[in-house]
Amino acid sequence: MSDAPSTAAPSAPPAVVVDGLVIRYGDLTAVDGVTFSAEAGQVTAVLGPNGAGKTSTIEALEGYRRPAGGTVRVLGLDPIADHDELVPAIGVMLQSGGVYPGIRPLEALQLFAAYYDDPLEPAALLRRVGLADRQDTAWRRLSGGEQQRLSLALAVIGRPRVVFLDEPTAGLDVDGRRLVHELVRELATDGVAVLLATHDLAEAEALADHVVIVDHGRVVADGPLAEVLTGTAEEIRFSAATGLDAAALGHRLGAAVAEAAPGEYLVDHAPDPGTIAMLTAWLAEQGASLGDLRAGRQRLEDVFVRLTADAAPPAQSGHDGARRSRRASRARSRRT
Amino acid sequence: MSALVAQTVAELRLNLRNGEQLLLTLGIPVLLLTFFSQVEVLPLPDGVDEPIDFLAPGVLALAVLSTAFTGLAIATGFDRQYGVLKRLGATPLGRPRLLAAKTATVVAIELAQLAVLVPVALLLGWEPSISPLPVLGAVVLATVAFAGVAMLMAGTLPGLVVLAAANGIYVVLLLFGDLVIPLEELPGALRAIAELLPTAAFAEILRAGFGDGEASGRAWLVLGGWAVAAPAVAARTFRWE
C-alpha cells in the first residue's frame, strides 16, 4: 500500500523513538517516563488497560501533546517543532471522530488525497475498505464500524511511512476487525511502521510484532510478543530517595541499575531472594528507606489480569451491568 | 487539484448541503426584504420615504452577519466538536490554508447572497446611488469582525452551545442592530448599547454607501475596533480540540 522499501536496512534508526516521555494534565501525570521504540516494517502495539497513558503517548508522537519531560522522535523529527516536515509522512487514526459529519466517504478520501503529493487512488481505497456501496452516505449516517474503516482509509491515503492507530477496531464486528487486521499487516509488509494503541490483548496477539505494555503511565514490559508472554525478561523495580549511587549498587548486585525516574530505580536482574536481600542490605548501609519494591513480572501479570478482565464476561452476576462488574473485577485485581 | 481549492470546494459543498444554513443565508433575508417592503408595518427613520430604501442595506448587512458570523460559528464549532480540526492538524493542509479556505467559502457565499438579494431589492423598487469604496470597505471590516466573534465562540465553546448562542445572537442583532428596525425606535439605554455593536455601525455605513445619509466617524471606529479586537482575542483563545 506504500512505496516505502519493504525491508529496512538493519542499521536504520527506529521509525519512532520515545525516550523518558512525561505528559501531565495539571496535577495528573498521565505518562510517567515511557521509553520504547518502533521499527519500520513492524506492527508495534502499545497495550494497556484504559487510562494507562496509551492515547497520551500516541498523541505526543502525533504532535498533539507537548511533553512535560523526555523526547519523542518520529522519522528523526520532533512532532511539534518539525510539524510541517513530518505530517506528509504520517497517517493518523484518532480514537473517534475526525471527519466532517456531512461529508461522504468518497468526498472525504478525495479531499484528503488533495493534501498529499502521491496519494492512493480514492475510489480504489474506498473499495478496499469495503465502503464502495456507501459512497453517497454522509459520515454521520455511517455505522460505527464503517466510520472506523473510513478513518483507517484516511490515515493511509497519503502513503505514510508511519501510521498511528488509536483503538482501530473498537466497536467493529468480526468482518470489520478482520479487514482492519489485513490492512494493518499489509502496511507492515510494505515497510510502514505501524503504532497501534489497544486495550485488547487478543488484538495485540493477532497483529503485533512487538508489544509495549503500559500501566499507570509506565512501561511494564517491552519486547517481541512471544517473549513478553513467556516472560524471559525480568527485573526489579523499587523506589527510594533520589540520587542514590546506582553504579555502586549495580556493582554490588552484579546487574545494571538505573534511576529510571527520580527516586524510581530499575534493576536488570531476576527478583530472586538473594538479590533482594543484597538490595535491602545495601539500602540499609546507605541509610535509605525502601519505598515500594516490585518485581516486573508481578506487575505485568496484574496488567494482564485487568486486560483480560475487560474482555471476559462479567465476573459477578448481578443487576449492575457489565461495565460496573468489569470495574469491580478490575478493582479486585488491583488489590491482589 | 491543489489542497486549498479542494478544501474550499469541500467546505462550500458541505455548506450548501446544509438546509438550515441556506434558510439562514438566503431564505430569511429574501423573506424579510419582500415582506416588509410590501407590508408597511415597520417604522421608518426620518427622511426615508420608501421602506425598501431602509430595508435593502439593512438586509444586506443581515446577510453578511448570517454568513460571516452565524454560519461560520456553527460550522466551525461542530468541526471542532467532531475532531475535524484536530485531525486536519495532522495533515499537510496546515492552518493557513484551512483559514484561507474558510475565508474563501465565506466570501463565495456572500457573493452569492449579493447576487440574489440585490436583484430582488431592485425589483422591489430600490434605487441606490452606490459609493463602491465605502461599501466594499464596510463589508470587508464587518466580515472580519463577525468572523472574529464567530471563531472566538467556536474555538472555546461546545458545538451545541455555539449552535444555540450563534442563532440567539443572530435574532438579537436582527432586532437591535439597526437592520430592519431603525435604531431611533429603541429606548435610550438600549440604543446606546446597540450603537457600540458592529451591526448598527455596519448598517449605518452601508446605508450611507448606498446613498442614504452620511456615515459618522463613530460608526467606522466601532466597526474597525471590532474588526481588530475580535480576531485578536479569537487567535489567543482558540482551542483546536
Q: What is the pLDDT of residue A135?
A: 86
- Pick the closest to residue A28 from A73, A68, A58 (CA basis): A68
**B82, B95, B102: which to substitute to probe chain A, counting the most A Cβ within 10 Å?**
B82
Phi, psi for A7 (deg, rounded to 5) = -130, 130
As a whole number, mean pLDDT of residues A177-198 equals 94
Q: Establish if A11 belongs to a structural domain.
A: no
* Residues A51-70 as b or e (16 or more Cβ within 10 Å = b): ebbbbbbbbbbbbbbebeeb
Q: How many CB atoms lie within 10 A of CB B205?
A: 26
Residues A321 and A274 in one domain: no
**Residue owning grid cell 449492575:** A320
Helix (H) or strand (E) holding A258: strand A257-261
Q: What is the pLDDT of residue A318?
A: 38
Q: Establish if A275 belongs to a structural domain.
A: yes
Chain centroid to Cα A327, Å, comes to 22
Bridge partners, A310 (sequence order): none
Q: Establish if A198 belongs to a structural domain.
A: yes
ipTM comes to: 0.87
Q: Establish if A7 belongs to a structural domain.
A: no
Q: What is the pLDDT of residue A319?
A: 41
Q: How confident is the model at residue A323 (pLDDT cuts 50, 70, 90)?
A: very low
Q: Establish if A80 belongs to a structural domain.
A: yes
As a whole number, mean pLDDT of residues B217-238 equals 93
Contact flag A98-B84 (C-beta cutoff 8 Å) = yes
Task: State pLDDT tens for residues B97-147.
Answer: 888 899 999 999 999 999 999 999 999 999 999 999 999 999 999 999 999
Contact flag B92-A90 (C-beta cutoff 8 Å) = no
- Pick the closest to residue B67 from B13, B176, B143 (CA basis): B143
Coil, strand or helix at A117: coil
Coil, strand or helix at B221: helix
Residues A182 and A276 in one domain: no
Q: Establish if A10 belongs to a structural domain.
A: no
Contact flag A87-B83 (C-beta cutoff 8 Å) = no
Q: What is the pLDDT of residue B46?
A: 80
Q: How many CA atoms are closer than 13 Å to the CA of A132, on its beta-carbon side?
A: 7
Q: Hey, what's the cell of A117?
A: 503529493
pLDDT > 90? residue A330: no
pLDDT > 60? residue A88: yes
Q: How confident is the model at residue A334 (pLDDT cuts 50, 70, 90)?
A: very low
Looking at CA atoms only, how far is residue A105 from chain B in angstroms? Answer: 12
Q: What is the pLDDT of residue A233?
A: 52
DSSP B185: G
Q: Cα separation of B148 and A11, whole Å?
A: 51
pLDDT > 90? residue A87: yes
Q: What is the pLDDT of residue A128?
A: 94
Coil, strand or helix at B103: helix
Q: Hey, what's the cell of A147?
A: 466510520
Please report the number of interchain residue pairs, chain A to chain B, with beta-carbon separation below 8 angstroms.
Answer: 67
Domain count of the fold of chain A: 3
Residues A101 and A64 in one domain: yes
Q: Cα separation of A294 and A221, whole Å?
A: 13
Q: Cα separation of B154 and B169, whole Å?
A: 14
Nearest CA in chain A to B75: A100
Q: What is the pLDDT of residue B127?
A: 92
Looking at CA atoms only, how far is residue A252 from chain B in angstroms? Answer: 49
Residues A164 and A98 in one domain: yes
Q: What is the pLDDT of residue B179?
A: 92
Residues whose CB falls within 8 Å of the CB of residue A14, separated by 6 or more in sequence, listed in order: A37, A38, A39, A40, A193
- Using alpha carbons only, give the angle A187, A113, B14 rounded to the nearest 5 degrees: 130
Q: What is the pLDDT of residue B137?
A: 96
Task: State pLDDT tens for residues A51-81.
Answer: 899 999 999 999 999 999 999 999 999 999 9
Contact flag A114-B14 (C-beta cutoff 8 Å) = no
Q: Which domain holds residue A305?
A: 298-335
Q: What is the pLDDT of residue A297?
A: 61
Residues A198 and A247 in one domain: no
Q: What is the pLDDT of residue A227?
A: 74
Nearest CB to A114: which of B3, B13, B84?
B3
Q: How confident is the model at residue B9 (pLDDT cuts 50, 70, 90)?
A: very high
Q: What is the pLDDT of residue A336?
A: 33
Distances in whole angstroms, Cα of residue A306 to Cα of each of A110, A168, A171, A311: 41, 20, 19, 9
Q: What is the pLDDT of residue A11?
A: 59
Q: What percent of chain B has pLDDT over 70?
A: 100
Q: What is the pLDDT of residue A290?
A: 86
**A112, A116, A136, A148: which to substitute to probe chain B, counting the most B Cβ within 10 Å?**
A112
Q: What is the pLDDT of residue A230?
A: 62
Q: What is the pLDDT of residue B191?
A: 93
Looking at CA atoms only, how far is residue A90 from chain B in angstroms? Answer: 8
DSSP B240: -
Q: How confident is the model at residue A314 (pLDDT cuts 50, 70, 90)?
A: very low
DSSP A77: B
Coil, strand or helix at A164: strand
| β-pair type (A257-261, A264-267) | antiparallel
Q: What percent of chain A has pLDDT over 70?
A: 83
Residues A139 and A188 in one domain: yes
Q: What is the pLDDT of residue A39?
A: 95
Residues A171 and A281 in one domain: no
Look at A140-149, A306-315, A325-334, B176-185 and tell me which has the smallest mean pLDDT. Answer: A325-334
Instruction: Give DSSP secondary structure letters for A183-227.
Output: HHHHHHHTT-EEEEEES-HHHHHHH-SEEEEEETTEEEEEEEHHH
Residues A286 and A302 in one domain: no
Contact flag B90-A87 (C-beta cutoff 8 Å) = yes
Sign of CA dihedral B153, B155, B157, B163: positive
Nearest CB to A97: which of B14, B18, B83?
B83
Task: State pLDDT tens for residues B155-165.
Answer: 999 999 999 99
CATH code, domain with A45: 3.40.50.300
Phi, psi for A221 (deg, rounded to 5) = -160, 150
pLDDT > 50? residue A3: no
Looking at CA atoms only, how far is residue A101 from chain B in angstroms? Answer: 7
Q: Establish if A124 belongs to a structural domain.
A: yes
The whole-chain average pLDDT of chain A stands at 85
Residues A240 and A156 in one domain: no
Q: What is the pLDDT of residue A331?
A: 41
Q: How confident is the model at residue A301 (pLDDT cuts 50, 70, 90)?
A: low
Residues A65 and A209 in one domain: yes
Residues A124 and A43 in one domain: yes
Residues A110 and A246 in one domain: no
Last residue of a domain, one of A228, A249, A278: A228
User: How do the domains of chain B map onto residue ranges?
Assistant: 3-237
Q: Establish if A28 belongs to a structural domain.
A: yes
